[in-house]
Amino acid sequence: MEFDIATFGCLVFDRATMKKHLPYPAFQKWEDTIERKTALDRSTADAIAHAMKEWAMAHGCTHYTHWFQPLNGTTAEKHESFLDRDEHDAPIMRFSGKSLIKGEPDASSFPSGGLRATFEARGYTYWDCTSPAFIQDNVLCIPTVFVAYTGEALDRKSPLLRSIDAIDRSATRMVNLLGDKQVHKVEPVVGLEQEYFLVDRDHYLKRLDLRLCGQTLFGRQAPKSQELEDHYFGHIPAKVQAFMDDLNVALWKLGIYAKTEHNEVAPNQFELAPIYGPVNIAVDQNQLIMAEIQSIARKHGLEALLHEKPFKGINGSGKHDNYSLVTDDGQNLFAPGEKPMENIRFLVFLSCFIAAVDEYAPLLRMAASTSAGNDLRLGADEAPPAVISIYLGSYLDQLLHGLLHPEDAHGSTKENHVVPPVSTLAYIPRDNTDRNRTSPMAFTGNKFEFRMLGSSMSASEVNTVLNTILAKKLDDVAIQLEGIKYIDQVRSKALTICIDLIKTHQRILFSGDGYSDQWIKQAEKRGLPHIRTVVDSYAILQDDSTIDLFEQYHIYTRKELESRQDVLYSQYEKTLEIESRTALHMITRHFLPSMVESLGKHGSALHVIGTTNAPHYLSTRVKQLGQWIDDLHEKSEKLRIDLKAVMEQSKSDHRKAALLARSTLVDDLTNVRMIVDEYEKNSSSEDYGLPTYDDILFALD
Ligand code: ADP
Ligand code: MG
């Protein structure tokens, strides 16, 4: 396809398309709804639905679906045809406002954490008119929220939408208080960088662990891995380039501004970053990007792995969440401006952000890593540890130092010849972006980049938390500023508050190597929470501070939090159950028989040669194989027994089952892996019988 600008977004029913296809009053009413000025009335909804249907049919669609994001972290759809029977029994293609606005997918099998058990089994979908409808595989997809009969959220979008309202209110209030009265709206904007692996589909199909778990449960590092860093930004293999070209066409049509694509550090690892946009749309588009990556890879004989840690010993994949706030007149509230020291608004937003991240670090850690997969990534092979800290960069470090210690402002710091003294710090060069990639949360010029998020996860929870905790901190400050009469007094009071906030929360600031062991020790000394496994982070959802926060901002009710926690425990435990069953399956059906066969071969050779004449190698191998078979059998039996106990426990208590899975199955899986990996190291490719890391990771060209 030619990349003709006219075709950009041709599969999206966006603002321009709406304007073209709708009667003007209906278009205007829709715009008012987007601005949250009015609710959509029935006749406008009918007009929009009709226009949408005509447009979709012109693109070859016969079906539509309410597209939603249930708690299992995926997206869901149930296709419905436009086809209907009219009053005269004739066929007609019809799409009403009612069908656009509300759906009853009867999706009672999605996890609800018990929310629906006591009420109604049904869940309802409602149109989210702030995210545009689009066409995928000839189906008109309408982004929707998914809620229970009683109104409780059963999805990830509803809380995000509520949090967007919350941060809008609180940030606008603060901006107005600080003198910018013309600002009526503040919107969080987000850029999501997506990392993923590509592997040959033939290899993928031969490995049950890749197929069922998205990661290798067995496998040794290849003789070469990422030590030369020659894959990073390297030449993109032809097969991958062809895939990327197709991907770019698909994203182009979906109106997604795919901006950068490059090889990542690990072999076969790639990254795609679209241009940032309103958070709700960015999160939806990220789901589409993940889906497109997977389906287009298959068309090219490849398989995309979105798992956080598909291969042991090399980098895992994350999703970087670049976050900032913009006003309706286009100002970025995290832009330091030319004179950050005098930019009180910047200082307030910066210090509130720092305070929010410090105070709610466990919540952020939970939201960044809801899945078991990220546990394998965090703290390993160039991924941030599970401790949250913020890296500001030397300019802002100096600026804050100057705020806390004005007496040093003219003093000579070590870096005076590089960085101007704080008092004259009038200009932050445009290239002052972060160079510390070991930090989980880095200030990068005019936004914060949160790098903890797992690659396979929805980005909605993290942004729901960021919006809410920042809203809370801004309101805490606003309360102290309201009622002060003169703007100069407001500003000077705000500065004092900023200084206090930074003093209180400076323990969260860290500029050193976030990957080092010393940092972990120092962080623990500073009292920063280090929640090593994700399953321990779920407890925060029942903490009073969390419940108060979310209830205050109407993001989650106590009951919704309870249900979410239950779903998380259950997902964690189920993930480990699947991994355990897959490992057992591979051991019983493949590895043990393969070892026995190998033993047979070596044993016969030994028998033919005779033990006294046999080379040492042969007798050792026979002994080792016998030992591995016994060990693997024993350890896999333990895994089987522990798995049974977890499954039994999960019938009555998901939390207990998850904790049990963490304390038994994780180690059991490591133990069986160690034996199989040792076998792999010492056996011929033919005996081992599965594609190994060197096959999978160095075969794309
Ligand atoms: P890096 O790999 O250096 O982290 P990239 O250029 O790959 O950076 O990605 C940066 C992401 O941040 C992109 O999605 C970009 O659009 C986004 N971004 C840039 N400016 C802002 C901003 N002000 N607010 C939010 N996101 C932003
Ligand atoms: Mg990044």
pTM: 0.93
What residue numbers bound the domain in which 620 lies? 569-697
Instruction: Between 214 and 261, name the one with better pLDDT.
Output: 214
* Ligand 1 pocket residues where CB is under 6 Å: 189-191, 193, 260, 273-276, 320, 322-324, 332, 446-447, 449
> Is residue 221 in some structural domain?
no
Task: Compute the distance from residue 270 Cα to the ligand 2 centre, in Å.
Answer: 12
Do 73 and 25 share a domain, yes or no? yes
Place of tokens 């030590």: 227
Give the model's pLDDT for residue 436: 72
Over residues 539-560, the mean pLDDT reads 96
Task: Compute the distance from residue 275 Cα to the ligand 1 centre, in Å.
Answer: 7
Give the model's pLDDT for residue 122: 76
Do 409 and 448 share a domain, yes or no? yes
Over residues 608-632, the mean pLDDT reads 93
> Is residue 561 in some structural domain?
no
Task: Compute the distance from residue 8 Cα to the ligand 1 centre, in Å.
Answer: 21
Return the ligand number nearest the Cα of 272.
Answer: 1
Which of these three, 494, 524, 556, is where a domain ends?
556
DSSP string, 301-351: TEEEE--S-SSTTS---BEEEEEEEEETTS-BTT---S-GGG-HHHHHHHH
Query: Residue 417 pLDDT more than 50?
Result: no
> Is residue 308 in some structural domain?
yes
Grouping H, G, I as helix, E, B as strand and the rest as coil, residue 120 is: coil
In the structure encoding, which two tokens stand for residue 583, read together? 């490992």
In the structure encoding, which two tokens stand for residue 466, read together? 């960021």
Do 350 and 261 share a domain, yes or no? yes
Instruction: Between 303 and 120, name the one with better pLDDT.
Output: 303
CATH of the domain at 582: 1.20.120.1560
CATH of the domain at 517: 3.30.590.10
Summarised one tens digit per residue, pLDDT across range 301-335 is 999 999 999 999 888 999 999 999 999 999 999 99
Task: Compute the distance from residue 94 Cα to the ligand 2 centre, in Å.
Answer: 45
Q: How many domains does the chain have?
A: 3
Query: Residue 635 pLDDT more than 80?
Result: yes
Given a contact cutoff of 8 angstroms between Cβ atoms, the answer to whether 692 and 219 are in contact is yes
Instruction: Between 178 and 118, name the one with better pLDDT.
Output: 178
Task: Compute the distance from residue 181 Cα to the ligand 1 centre, in Å.
Answer: 29
Q: Which of 187, 189, 192, 193 to mutate to test the pocket of ligand 1 (most atoms within 8 A of CB)?
A: 193
CB atoms within 10 A of CB 1: 11
Task: Compute the distance from residue 364 Cα to the ligand 2 centre, in Å.
Answer: 18
The number of angstroms, rounded, from the C-alpha of 625 to the middle of its chain's C-alpha atoms is 42
Place of tokens 């991994």: 579
In the structure encoding, which two tokens stand for residue 208, read together? 């049950």
Residue nearest to atom 11 of ligand 1 (CA): 191
Least confident of 72-81, 459-468, 579-588, 599-608: 72-81
Residues 6+ apart with CB under 8 A from 683: 598
Give the model's pLDDT for residue 547: 98
Query: Residue 140 pLDDT more than 80?
Result: yes
Do 527 and 378 share a domain, yes or no? yes
Give the model's pLDDT for residue 374: 86
CB atoms within 10 A of CB 232: 15
> Is residue 220 in some structural domain?
no
The β-bridge relationship of strands 102-103 and 123-127 is: antiparallel
d(CA 194, CA 288): 12
Do 542 and 616 share a domain, yes or no? no
The number of angstroms, rounded, from the C-alpha of 446 to the middle of its chain's C-alpha atoms is 21
Give the model's pLDDT for residue 222: 84
> Is residue 11 in some structural domain?
yes
Give the model's pLDDT for residue 170: 98
Given a contact cutoff of 8 angstroms between Cβ atoms, the answer to whether 269 and 22 are in contact is no
Query: Residue 108 pLDDT more than 80?
Result: no
d(CA 342, CA 293): 45
List the one residue out of 151, 124, 116 whose CA is nearest residue 563: 116
Give the model's pLDDT for residue 699: 76
Give the model's pLDDT for residue 422: 41
Summarised one tens digit per residue, pLDDT across range 172-219 is 999 999 999 999 999 999 999 999 999 999 999 999 999 999 999 999
> Is residue 542 in some structural domain?
yes
Given a contact cutoff of 8 angstroms between Cβ atoms, the answer to whether 388 and 321 are in contact is no
Summarised one tens digit per residue, pLDDT across range 19-36 is 999 999 999 999 888 877
The β-bridge relationship of strands 139-148 and 133-136 is: antiparallel
Return the ligand number nearest the Cα of 466.
Answer: 1
Question: What is the share, in percent, of the chain residues with pLDDT greater than 70?
Answer: 93
> Is residue 117 in some structural domain?
yes
**In a 10 Å sphere around its CB, with 0-12 CB exposed, 13-18 middle and 19+ buried, how is residue 117 labelled?**
exposed
**In a 10 Å sphere around its CB, with 0-12 CB exposed, 13-18 middle and 19+ buried, how is residue 607 labelled?**
exposed
Count, in order, helices (H) and strands (E) of the chain: 24, 18
Grouping H, G, I as helix, E, B as strand and the rest as coil, residue 84 is: strand
Nearest atom, ligand 1, residue 334 CA: 23
Summarised one tens digit per residue, pLDDT across range 561-606 is 999 999 999 999 999 999 999 999 999 999 999 999 999 999 999 9
Query: Residue 428 pLDDT more than 50?
Result: no
Do 512 and 659 share a domain, yes or no? no
Over residues 240-254, the mean pLDDT reads 93
Give the model's pLDDT for residue 251: 95
Instruction: Between 113 and 295, name the one with better pLDDT.
Output: 295
> Is residue 426 in some structural domain?
yes
Do 202 and 325 share a domain, yes or no? yes
Do 638 and 693 share a domain, yes or no? yes
Query: Residue 143 pLDDT more than 90?
Result: yes
Instruction: Between 80 and 624, name the one with better pLDDT.
Output: 624
Residue at 199: amino acid letter: V
Given a contact cutoff of 8 angstroms between Cβ atoms, the answer to whether 466 and 317 are in contact is no
Do 340 and 320 share a domain, yes or no? yes
Nearest atom, ligand 1, residue 192 CA: 14
Do 176 and 115 share a domain, yes or no? no
Do 499 and 443 share a domain, yes or no? yes
Residue 261: pLDDT band with limits 50, 70, 90: confident
Give the model's pLDDT for residue 409: 59
In the structure encoding, which two tokens stand for residue 236, read together? 């993109």
CATH of the domain at 136: 3.10.20.70
Mean pLDDT (the chain, rounded): 90
d(CA 366, CA 286): 20
Which residues have beta carbons under 5 A from ligand 2 (an ion)? 193, 320
Residue at 212: amino acid letter: L
Least confident of 215-224, 241-250, 377-386: 377-386
Which of these three, 114, 129, 155, is where a domain ends?
155
Summarised one tens digit per residue, pLDDT across range 368-385 is 987 788 888 887 766 778
Do 482 and 452 share a domain, yes or no? yes
Phi-psi sector, 661: left (phi>0), alpha (psi -120 to 50), beta: alpha
Which of these three, 556, 588, 608, is where a domain ends?
556
Given a contact cutoff of 8 angstroms between Cβ atoms, the answer to whether 409 and 612 are in contact is no
Helix (H) or strand (E) holding 147: strand 139-148
d(CA 156, CA 646): 27
Q: Which of 265, 276, 452 to mutate to test the pocket of ligand 1 (most atoms within 8 A of CB)?
A: 276
Task: Compute the distance from residue 132 Cα to the ligand 1 centre, in Å.
Answer: 22
Residue 264: pLDDT band with limits 50, 70, 90: confident
